[in-house]
Amino acid sequence: MTSFRVQHPNARVDFSKPISFTFDGALHRGFSGDTLASALLASNTRMLARSFKYGRPRGIVGAGPEEPNALVQLEGGAVTIPNLKATQVELYDGLAAWRTTGSPSLAFDLKSVGGRFARFMAAGFYYKTFQSRKLWPKFEHIIRHAAGYGSTPQLPDPESYDHQHHHTDLLVIGGGACGLLSALIAGRAGLSVMLLDEQCEPGGWLLSSPSSSIGGKQVGDWLRDTLTELASLPNVSIKSRTSAFALHDMNMIQAVEQLQDHLPPQSRVDGAPRQRLHRIRAGRVVLAAGAIERPLVFGNNDAPGILTASALTTYLNRYGVACGRRILLQTSNDHVYQGACDLAKAGCEVTIADTRTVINAEWERRARSSGAEVLAGYGIAEAQGRRAVSGAHLVQLDGERNSVKGNGPFVACDALGSSGGLSPTVHLFCHDGGRPTWDEAKLAFVVSANGHAKAGIYCAGAITGTFGLLAALEQTVRVAGEAVESLGKPAGSSAFNLKSGEPSETPARRIFRVPDGKPEGHGKKAFVDFQNDVAASDIHLAVRENYRSIEHIKRDTALGFGTDQGKLSNVNGFAIAADALGKSIPEVGTTTYRPAYSPVTFGTLAGAHEGDTFEPRRYTAMHSAHVARGAEFEPVGQWLRPWYFPINGEDMHASVQREAMAARRSVGMMDASTLGKIDIRGKDVREFLNRIYANAWTQLAPAKCRYGLMLDENGMVFDDGVTACVSDDHFLMTTTTGGAARVMNWLETWHQTEWPDLDVYMTSVTDHWATAAVVGPKSRDVLAKVCKDIDLSPAAFKFMDWREGSVAGVPARVFRISFSGELAFEVNVDANYGHHVWEALLDAGAGHNITPYGTETMHVLRAEKGFIIVGQDTDGSMTPYDLDMAWAVSLKKPFSFIGKRSFTRSDTARSDRKQLVGLLTDDPNMVLKEGAQIIESDIAKPPMPMLGHVTSSYFSPGLGRSIAMAVVRDGISRRSEAGVKAGRDVLYAYAGGKVHRVKVVSAVFIDPEGARQNV
Amino acid sequence: MFVLTCPHCLEKREEEEFSYAGEAFIARPAAPEMLDDAAWGDYLFMRKNPKGWHWEMWSHATGCRKFVVVKRNTASHAIAGAWTLAEGRKVYDAEGGAA
């Protein structure tokens, strides 16, 4: 427990700005520039978590997005965020974070008791134990609670989010040395360049490696000079704290920029977005995403204080935190040596156990001269320490095979770092189907070293397996130059001096699981995936249980699941699986990399598309008139329509009874503006309508209108409405409110793809017209008061006629059509006059107690008449014949209209299809539930034959009793009419556990002769 | 998320502006009544659904509302081209009417 601060000048923290924060309620101190992880390490907080399955103590492992253990809950209340990686949380004054695991406390975890039974909790434990579905619900709550992880916020998110779209010539992903150099090359060539980097400042690994040099400059100076030049280029924009999380086809990249997360909640700019989603379409992409070091797998490798070697280096050089005083480093490669030298120079006692028998002489010299001890040919058999690492037993390794040759010393330590090599961050490259290839020399899955394996994507640096700084920069000059030239710009002849002081590399050892001399599963648990508690023995078990595909092994063991998505564990897991399967690593391959690279909040994805701005809301021209009259509204598609108009505190039922009776006895009025309206012109309109509708349009004269059913090619009804003939080459079609866009698209589809020879063109005019339906026996009297230039007499203006004239001084089209069965006029005016005409009609009707009504009354009135609502009484499986609407089909038309041929398909022609009928309950006050199932027996004992279901059900004010419409198998022949077999018209409706006897009748309940609308 | 050059608008536009409109070049039979149920059923329901190159229609729904023919690879989502219906038909025929 002996971390300490090293206040060296290259550290990226500001030692003059101390900060206080709390973790799990305890007060800690850090500095401006710290992450939560670096500050906790500096204050010796080793154990931050308990493991998922066994409750084992866990600490920080990494220094970035790869962190598997240190998941914290940040802040409380509405702005709380679960499962942030402490390694990515920038410290601010007053920050409050909590553990997300460990129940009841970090110090004592109930699962760790279970951990003693760990051998009974092998891979696939939950699958195997809870195969019985009955058992799982009983245990789920307990297990999920014990397994922990953060809590979702319980309050609405008060933060705002934003989306931005970009087009850029060249997008660079990654702000390390190669990314910055790429941006510089493209920027100098005059291209528009964006560079995204997920960290709080550009520099990448250079920030962790201040003693390296580029072209004779210390990397700090090179970085400063490069950023200065980039800042001077107006065509280059650099976005820090911006994580590219998805790469889609054709160079579409999505990235999330953290704008305010690094600020204390009280300092955030109110109303300004917390995060911003960038959607970038790039001409070319340079992927310079770097690599993440993977640890070696060895016994007890999960004790707090065991990190990746690169994380130890980063904490020292970037954050000024030495993670221990006695540090043991275990490696398979050269990469740990610079950090070892830096740690030794900072005053740590450093031992390097290099698993190779042949090691790099220059690095060994530098390490020893810095004061580090080097043991060649040794690995760690098992670490000691439970809540904090205290040392490790080394073993001498065979030079060739990964086996134990002999015993080694015990090395005491208070921090341990290991490196099994670098794993290139190939995730984005693979998001749209790319696959990495295994490079046996680099011991890594890499993307093609040719730089651009995919159209428009250029890869540079560590992502290609080019790990040395000089080689990576030289490759970048070449690859970025190719990208620039592919956009038609000269790459420039700028000579870069890239010389660095690194010794040449000695090959790494191919080792993933360090042997302990025991068969797998017999020694101490050696973890591959910390977040999911997957040990090497679990992978072996999955293979013994005959899983062969790595995708299946992943799912049986949970390898690579979770918030880190296996950034540390995957390659080790693949390699261990390959060994267990006796295959090579490329034969085993990788699992599939999918977006998102790192977790993205829902708020960011939603952006401004939430609440009132989730989707457009459409209002009719009369909306304010309805609001003023106290209407209740209901959404119908995007429209907000008046539902009913309560007065004196009425409930919906009372309103609807009153509104409906007004329309039946005197006059009511409804806003019908939302019906879809399509203006169709051209000399072939009649023929077009003949093909599109089931009925005939050849004879329809100007000033007349007709109801039509629109079918799909399968013969099923998909829309209906009234179409008016304006002139021989001009018709006005109406559609259902919800179907307007679909019908428009349908008409365009047939015209463009099948009948381009027909001279027709369609214009959507839904929003151009406002429509007031004046309904009831007194409607003619009301309209006559404000319409003087149209002869409204029954002889001159017949049912299904329409006239052009003026209403309330405004040009109008008046249609004598009815969706209620009453005498009715639909008055259409320019939407800009809609409100005026609505008020004028209400004034004109005052003497007749004109009553505005909403959609609910409209539904009741039409159901009393048996008029269908497409989508409610039909469901895409109803033909006109099923609806008993043969009158709306003309089989005599010469052209085989859409859907006609399907009437004779064997399935469509069946006699026992579900057909639309009316239902009357025995109890006149019993209103059936819509959706109630129709059965043949008064005893409901599912499973049993379901004959159909109730589609519409209301209490009818006109009849003073309940009515229902239903689709019933062979229903038309069951209707209670002369000649029906006794009892055949009796069925039962079953809903909510209750059965009601019903009589099958015609769906037309009121005025079957249509006398009322013909007055 | 592809980008198409709409052959009517002659501009590069995002996938979001287009909506899928099914397999291309499924001609409606000239005399439906002459077909037996099996042949009519083929026209109604049967689609190629290949893994690989696929000729399909997209509607430039929030643009010009015109239909375009697109040759798209269903496995890689690569786009070989976008044409008007008439031009696309010529290319399709020139390629032998198949992928």
Which chain B residue is nearest to residue A764, measuring alpha carbons? Answer: B65
Q: Taking an 8 Å Cβ-Cβ cutoff, which residues of chain B contact chain A?
A: 1-3, 14, 21, 27-28, 31-33, 35, 37, 40-41, 44, 57, 59, 61, 65-67, 75-79, 85
Q: Which residues of B touch A754 (CB under 8 A)?
A: 27-28
Task: Quickly state the pLDDT bin for A150 (edges 50, 70, 90).
Answer: confident
Across chain A, what does the average pLDDT equal?
Answer: 93
- Cβ distance of B85 and A752 shorter than 8 Å: yes
Q: State both tokens at B16.
A: 């979001």
Q: Give the pLDDT score at A121.
A: 65
Task: Quick: pLDDT tens for A439-487.
Answer: 999 999 999 756 456 789 999 999 999 999 999 999 999 999 999 999 9
**Cα A237–Cα A243–Cα A245 angle in degrees, nearest 5:** 120
Sign of CA pseudo-dihedral B35, B37, B41, B42: negative
- Cβ distance of A896 and B66 shorter than 8 Å: no
Residue A887 CA, distance from chain mean position = 47
**Closest-CA residue to A857 (of A819, A894, A889, A827):** A819
Task: Quick: pLDDT tens for A527-579.
Answer: 999 999 999 999 999 999 999 999 999 999 999 988 888 999 999 999 999 99
Residue A565 CA, distance from chain mean position = 17
- Cβ distance of A753 and B77 shorter than 8 Å: no
Task: Quickly state the pLDDT bin for A769 (edges 50, 70, 90).
Answer: very high
- Cβ distance of A900 and B76 shorter than 8 Å: no
Which residue did the predictor score with more confidence, A858 or A101? A858
Is residue A120 within 8 Å of A129, Cβ to Cβ?
no
Q: Which residues of B touch A745 (CB under 8 A)?
A: 59, 61
DSSP for A825-840 reads EEEEEEGGGHHHHHHH
Which residue did the predictor score with more confidence, A111 or A699? A699
Query: What letter represents residue A819's amino acid?
Result: F
Q: For residue A192, which phi and psi values (nearest 5 degrees)?
A: -75, 130
Which residue did the predictor score with more confidence, A438 or A449? A438
Return d(Cα A860, Cα A866) in angstroms, integer: 10
- Cβ distance of B85 and A748 shorter than 8 Å: no
- Cβ distance of A748 and B67 shorter than 8 Å: yes
DSSP state, residue A423: E
Does A917 score more than 90 pLDDT? yes
Return the percentage of chain A with pLDDT > 90, whole number. 86
Query: What are the distances in angstroms from CA A706 to CA A487, A734, A883?
Result: 60, 10, 18
Lowest mean pLDDT among A170-184, A492-506, A892-906: A492-506
Is residue A479 within 8 Å of A452, Cβ to Cβ?
yes
Return d(Cα A767, Cα A676) in angstroms, integer: 8
Is residue A212 within 8 Å of A501, Cβ to Cβ?
yes
The greatest distance separating any two alpha carbons of chain A, rounded to the nearest whole angstrom, comes to 114
- For A344, counting Cβ atoms within 10 Å of its Cβ (0-12 exposed, 13-18 middle, 19+ buried), the class is buried
Closest CB from B1, B32, B40 relative to A248:
B1
Q: Give the pLDDT score at A101.
A: 81
Task: Quick: pLDDT tens for A777-815.
Answer: 999 999 999 999 999 999 999 999 999 999 999 999 999
Q: Taking an 8 Å Cβ-Cβ cutoff, which residues of chain A contact chain B?
A: 248-250, 252, 281, 432-433, 713-714, 745, 748-749, 752-754, 756, 896, 900-902, 904-906
Which chain B residue is nearest to residue A905, measuring alpha carbons? Answer: B37
Tell me how many residue pairs between chain A and chain B have CB atoms under 8 A apart.
51
- Cβ distance of A753 and B2 shorter than 8 Å: no
Q: Give the pLDDT score at A148.
A: 61
Which chain A residue is nearest to residue B36, measuring alpha carbons? Answer: A905
E-assigned strands of A213-348? 213-214, 217-218, 236-239, 242-248, 252-258, 275-287, 291-293, 306-308, 321-322, 326-331
Query: What letter represents residue B84's amino acid?
Result: T
- Cβ distance of A281 and B14 shorter than 8 Å: yes
- Cβ distance of A902 and B67 shorter than 8 Å: no
Task: Quick: pLDDT tens for B27-67.
Answer: 999 999 999 999 999 999 999 999 999 999 999 999 999 99
Average pLDDT of the segment spanning A83-100: 96
- Cβ distance of B3 and A902 shorter than 8 Å: no
Does A122 score more than 80 pLDDT? no
Q: Give the pLDDT score at A534.
A: 95
Does A495 score more than 80 pLDDT? no
Closest CB from A753, A756, A905 relative to B40:
A905
Does A1000 score more than 70 pLDDT? yes
Average pLDDT of the segment spanning A494-500: 75
- Cβ distance of A753 and B31 shorter than 8 Å: no
Q: Which residues of B touch A904 (CB under 8 A)?
A: 37
Q: Give the pLDDT score at A542.
A: 95
Q: Mapped to the 3 state alphabet, what secondary structure does A861-921 carry?
A: HHHHCCCCCCCCCCCCCCCCCCCCCHHHCCCCCCCCCCCCHHHHCCCCCCCCCEEEEEEEE
Closest CB from A281, A432, A748 relative to B3:
A281
Q: Give the pLDDT score at A978.
A: 81
Does A117 score more than 60 pLDDT? no
Which chain B residue is nearest to residue A434, measuring alpha carbons? Answer: B76
Which residue did the predictor score with more confidence, A175 or A125? A175
Does A152 score more than 70 pLDDT? yes
Return d(Cα A519, Cα B41) in angstroms, integer: 62
Task: Quick: pLDDT tens for A279-305.
Answer: 999 999 999 999 999 999 999 999 999
Q: State both tokens at A834.
A: 């809609």
Sign of CA pseudo-dihedral A462, A572, A555, A603: negative
Does B14 score more than 70 pLDDT? yes
Return d(Cα A572, Cα A301) in angstroms, integer: 13
Closest CB from A281, A749, A896 relative to B33:
A896
Q: Which positions ≥6 away from A533 have C-beta within 8 Å?
A: A51, A52, A53, A54, A56, A527
Average pLDDT of the segment spanning A591-609: 93
Does A1 score more than 50 pLDDT? no
Return d(Cα A111, Cα A3) in angstroms, integer: 29
Other beta carbons within 10 Å of A505: 14
Return the percentage of chain A with pLDDT > 70, whole number. 95
Task: Quickly state the pLDDT bin for A138 (edges 50, 70, 90).
Answer: low
